[in-house]
Structure 1
């Protein structure tokens, strides 16, 4: 399996803070040794979930957003390995594969002027290269019978996650996106706000539900595009649920799972939806973190959920004194997802 920097025993030892009388995730999670075939090791492992990082923000830069999402993986994995292995959630259910090797792509992206139109075109070419690696690796993980938990990176990686899952399943898949923005912009070039549109147009995405759109930031063009495909694309807005009380959060989740849950689907969480969480676009309004955790648990219970993708977290753009909070938030969402799948 190309372009993977595996998470090693040395990485695990460095990150895990062992304490007498405690058992940390890092003492129980599974790894793939360097000399072992990744695909064969995945197939033979009894872990249900595979943790994968995509430490890039080229897609965010291509969308002229604030960079920083490349740092979410390191923050998250350091937190995850220091969680308690206990009766509520067991570390051996998780295999930490490592991160996609986007080192050169990220270095190049950091040298390009994103304020320049030609610069953004160059960044989009980098995103297309990353797309190929993401789709290939996700396909291999899903074919091996595992559930990927993907930590970005920008939400441009939704495209590769959907495509890889679709290729592994041999058919189009569905997706639900917990996001204030539809990410369904025109197919001009690849960036963080049109991954779902590309997946839809290329036949990898069947039904798509956007949960909690901010009405003030949904462009007329995107809404008109969605209207063309009302049989396959649905959405609700934050204002309908939280402000005007026209709809109820739990009822909307039930409607959404009815729309996408009969087939394999991806569960997409954009951290920009959450108030005061560091990201390329931060917000001071939106559903609470507790609502997001309930959302992950609810959809994680479905037998057809194929992956979890957490994107757009940027630790250094949040609380200056507590950048680790982004990693802690991601760790909560990861374990909420794991706990939703009962051990049989």
Structure 2
């Protein structure tokens, strides 16, 4: 497939640090060489990465999300293969090959008044690849897990899922922002708006929305649309994790307990991300939320906006999120 790099066992072995009398998670994950092999594979989950930050830059954000997938693999593939972890239930598919997209982006003049719009044209090309990969995974009956990258990729993921299921889908987004900005050109701040306007997105719930970073225009939009719902971070910041889960359960019920699952790392307090916040959910909160959410009918799991280039513990945190999501003994 054009613009996609499939991983093989040799690629995976480069990340694994072997140790005597131990078996690492990466030694048991499955690999494929073509999308049409998905149907014959027994694993229930398919992981791939989108190493880009073009959509983030197009939205005037801080670059760095392009490096995160590699750091996640360094952590995830070295956790233990034991009775609590099932690497045989995961396909490590590979990653979107963004080289040509970056070559095109680097040829642009950042001082041009159309610079961000031109980056948006490149984001649209990335959308097409993401849509095709997700569509193939969902059509095979498996659950995609996607590590970004910017939140611009939610559009391709939602479109691919919706197309595969032949219906618009509901989405739960744990996020400090709605990403419902005007659809003037594609960037990381308007993926859900494009998906909604094009009828790929049906019901949408944002959990952890920040009062300080949501415009009145956006509040007017989400208060007007009956299919939009949100829970403010400030309304839950003094609650226990258990009480926050009660509020999250209300959002899950609003979505009829069937949805795509988005986790924007901007919602996590102190985590280095494209819009880092000092006030947000804890890692403990997020892991508990994942345990609650995974019990429902989840179409996909998308983790985005983290920048692990300067903080290697971020890769480890996300590896916890992935292993928690695919674990079947909770």
TM over 0.5: yes
1:275 Cα offset (Å)? 1.5
Find the counterpart in structure 2 of residue 128 from structure 1: 124
DSSP 3-state at the match of 2:151: coil
Find the counterpart in structure 1 of residue 185 from structure 2: 189
1:18 Cα offset (Å)? 1.2
Residue 80, structure 1, aligned to residue 76, structure 2:
yes
DSSP 3-state at the match of 1:121: helix
1:243 Cα offset (Å)? 4.3
Give matches, 1:66-105, under 5 Å. 66-105=62-101
Find the counterpart in structure 2 of residue 233 from structure 1: 228
Find the counterpart in structure 1 of residue 24 from structure 2: 24
1:83 Cα offset (Å)? 1.0
The 1-side partners of 2:38 and 2:205 are apart by 30
Find the counterpart in structure 1 of residue 307 from structure 2: 314
Structure 1, gaps ≥5 residues long: none
Structure 2, gaps ≥5 residues long: none
DSSP 3-state at the match of 2:199: coil
The 2-side partners of 1:252 and 1:19 are apart by 43
The 2-side partners of 1:108 and 1:243 are apart by 46
The 1-side partners of 2:42 and 2:59 are apart by 39
In the alignment, which of 251, 258, 266 is matched to residue 253 of structure 2? 258
Q: TM-score, normalised by structure 1?
A: 0.92
CA-atom RMSD, angstroms?
1.7
User: Residue by residue, what CA displacement relative to the aligned partner does 1:43-67 show, whole Å, maximum 9, x if unpaired?
Assistant: 1111111011000011001001111
1:87 Cα offset (Å)? 1.0
Moved over 6 A (4+): none
Q: TM-score, normalised by structure 2?
A: 0.95
The 1-side partners of 2:215 and 2:115 are apart by 24
Find the counterpart in structure 2 of residue 13 from structure 1: 13
1:90 Cα offset (Å)? 1.3
Bigger mean CA deviation after superposition, 98-107 or 60-69: 98-107
The 2-side partners of 1:15 and 1:162 are apart by 30
